[in-house]
Homo-oligomer: A and B are copies of this chain.
Amino acid sequence: MTTFDETILDNLEIELPSWAFGNSGTRFKVFGTPGTPRTIHEKIADAAKVNELTGLAPSVALHIPWDTVDDYRVLGSYAADLGVRLGTINSNTFQDDDYKFGSLTHTDKTVRQKAIDHHLACIDVMGQTGSRDLKIWLADGTNYPGQGDIRGRQDRLAESLATIYQHIGDDQRLVLEYKFFEPATYVTDVPDWGTSYAHASALGERAMVCLDTGHHAPGTNIEFIVAQLLRLGKLGSFDFNSRFYADDDLIVGAADPFQLFRILFEVVRGGGLDTGSPVALMLDQCHNVEEKIPGQIRSVLNVQEMTARALLVDTDALTAAQEAGDVLGANAIMMDAFYTDVRPMLAQRRESRGLPADPMAAFATSGYAERIADERVGGTQSSWGA
């Protein structure tokens, strides 16, 4: 097997979203499961378990207000005791009745200010948690032609973002996520990378784009966007997941593993995994029918495995084939790396670092699932709504 730069694999850190451990579902039904966390503390414990078994997930993203606590420093200590740290702060302006017709884009200045204030409160939390990134995903949009003024909504969005950005600290970043559609069904106010990029550019250096791998139109070449944003210096973070249809929020790499390979190849190509890279990797998934903790373990392993495959690409040979117009030769170099079974090598790598060779099996036999099912009785299981 070709060898590759171990540094990049060493650098690999994938942030886990606290909400992945809570219940989620579709508009038709949310299924609950035994052991689902009731509190942010229990979510962090589950996330820490993922990190303990994989060594890949040293931080946990919070969602405000779902994960609101009185004292974030205490929460940070709790996390640290479990071997993880608090990461990105995600705002939420889509579950309050006031936001029915928009938040940062609303025609009513009062509602806009409320949404701005929520983000300022999130920045306060960041100060306490030591988080670098404020991630903004907006559900803002409209369902029917005429419902909103497309242009006016953009102008108000720009103004609201500018106000928030003024409060972003020197070591902090505002990361703006885009999404093709849902929940809005006609206009989404930040629907594509171009919009996110235009706003981030207007805001300044500490504003970046978040690329969620499930948030594109059918057929979109996502690795192209990755390469472009890296080139433009505006790729701030990934929300990893996968999809067959809409924003399915499936386990990253589950729907199209070759696409994940191509994406990670461009990340590596663009320096996105180099030491000091501005690119943060995060999961954003829903485990509607599968077990949640193993779902997260599987996900970070998928990213690691595909990164290893991407690193196996013989880039010198690839460049030579590209310059020679050898289409099949160049393609074969990519495929050769993709089809290489890196799992044994990674298992060995894990063991050499004191981690279980097979984290999935290790979790299954750990008794953790059974224990939390027994212990977490009563209370209200966490879900998107709480």
A interface list, Cβ under 8 A from B: 24-29, 31-32, 94-95, 97, 100-101, 107-108, 139, 143-151, 154-155, 180-183, 185-188, 191-195, 197-198, 201, 216-221, 223-225, 227-228, 230-232, 243-246, 248, 250-251, 254-259, 262, 266, 269-270, 288-291, 294-295, 298, 305, 318-319, 321-323, 325, 327-328, 330-335, 338-341, 343, 360, 384
Contacts and interface: CB of A to CB of B under 8 A. Distances in A.
Nearest to A185: B248
B150 A327 contact: no
Given A146-B335, A192-B193, A195-B228, 14 more contacts: A28-B182, A107-B322, A108-B323, A144-B331, A146-B322, A148-B322, A151-B230, A181-B246, A185-B248, A194-B195, A219-B245, A256-B256, A305-B339, A341-B341
Contacts of A340: 341
Given A27-B384, A198-B197, A245-B181, A186 B221 contact: yes
A219 B191 contact: no
B143 A384 contact: no
A146 to B, nearest CB: 4
B154 A328 contact: no
A319 to B, nearest CB: 7
A334 B142 CA distance: 14
B289 A146 contact: no
12 contacts: A25-B27, A107-B323, A143-B327, A144-B327, A147-B289, A148-B322, A148-B330, A180-B245, A182-B245, A182-B246, A185-B244, A218-B219
A153 B53 CA distance: 36
A227 B142 CA distance: 15
Nearest to A221: B187
Given A185-B244, A217-B220, A318 B146 contact: yes
Contacts of A328: 144, 290-291, 294-295, 298, 360
Contacts of A327: 143-144, 147, 289-291
B290 A144 contact: yes
A261 to B, nearest CB: 9
Given A145-B262, A322-B107, A246 B244 contact: no
Nearest to A201: B201
A232 B332 CA distance: 38
Given A27-B25, A31-B100, A95-B29, A219 B154 contact: no
Contact of A254 (B295, B331, B384): B331
Nearest to A340: B341
B334 A146 contact: yes
Contacts of A338: 257
A193 B231 CA distance: 16
Nearest to A291: B328
A240 to B, nearest CB: 16
Given A27-B26, A328-B294, A224 B266 contact: no
7 nearest A-B pairs in the assembled complex, by CB-CB distance: A194-B194, A217-B217, A146-B334, A26-B183, A185-B248, A290-B327, A218-B218
Contacts of A384: 27-28
A198 B197 CA distance: 9
Most buried by B among A26, A108, A181, A328: A328
A243 B221 CA distance: 12
Nearest to A243: B185
A202 to B, nearest CB: 9
